[in-house]
């Protein structure tokens, strides 16, 4: 039986160099998330009543996928920017504009019922918030897990490890 000797100086799971920890990275993540949230809210507000209910469902899926992508790839701060900008943009577009024009009418126009705007605002907010509620607590615990220096390491590649 071959004995595997693990060097005590071997790097642990959390020792990877993190080159993107500056303030600029965090500000960039926040601004990038806000830009994505504004764009998704604007496009979703413009198309949610067209080809009802298919574009409403597509807009909600894009809202959810955008939030998931930002939280998974750019961390929670980008998700906060996304949620904040999505909410502000969607609520601003829901208000009455100059001349009485509105993008989220409360009465039925064409094929879309009057509640389509309410569904867009409420479910869109849930879709933008869901990645932050679900992924951030789970992801943070998994990323920062360290292997104690004296603990034996499991080597699944080596069949002689016991």
**Each residue of 7-60: pLDDT tens digit?**
555 555 555 555 546 788 888 889 999 999 999 999 998 888 788 888 889 999
Per-residue confidence (pLDDT) for residue 113, from 0 to 100: 77
Per-residue confidence (pLDDT) for residue 74, from 0 to 100: 72
Give the tens place of pLDDT for each residue, 47-94: 887 888 888 899 999 999 999 998 888 778 888 999 999 999 998 888
Residue 126 or 135, more confident: 126
Task: Tell me how many domains the chain contains.
Answer: 1
pTM over 0.75: no
Quick check: is 115 in a domain? Answer: yes
Residue that has been written with the tokens 């907010």 in this structure: 125
Quick check: is 19 in a domain? Answer: no
Quick check: is 159 in a domain? Answer: no
H or E, element range at 24: helix 23-47
Q: Which domain holds residue 139?
A: 24-143
Quick check: is 77 in a domain? Answer: yes
Distances in whole angstroms, Cα of residue 13 to Cα of each of 10, 144, 159? 10, 8, 22
129 Cβ contact list (under 8 Å, min separation 6): 67, 83
């Amino acid at each position: 039986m071959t004995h595997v000797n693990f060097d005590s100086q071997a790097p642990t799971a959390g020792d990877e160099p993190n080159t993107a920890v500056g303030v600029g990275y965090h500000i960039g993540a926040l601004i990038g998330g806000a830009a994505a949230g504004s764009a998704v809210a604007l496009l979703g507000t413009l198309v949610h009543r067209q080809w009802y209910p298919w574009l409403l469902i597509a807009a909600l899926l894009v809202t959810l996928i955008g939030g998931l992508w930002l939280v998974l790839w750019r961390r929670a701060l980008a998700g906060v920017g996304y949620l904040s900008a999505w909410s502000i943009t969607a609520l601003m577009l829901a208000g009455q504009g100059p001349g009485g024009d509105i993008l989220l009418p409360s009465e039925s126009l064409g094929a879309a019922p009057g509640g389509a705007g309410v569904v867009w605002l409420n479910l869109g907010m849930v879709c933008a918030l869901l990645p932050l509620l679900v992924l951030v607590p789970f992801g943070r615990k998994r990323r920062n897990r360290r292997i104690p220096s004296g603990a034996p390491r499991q080597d699944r590649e080596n069949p002689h490890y016991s």
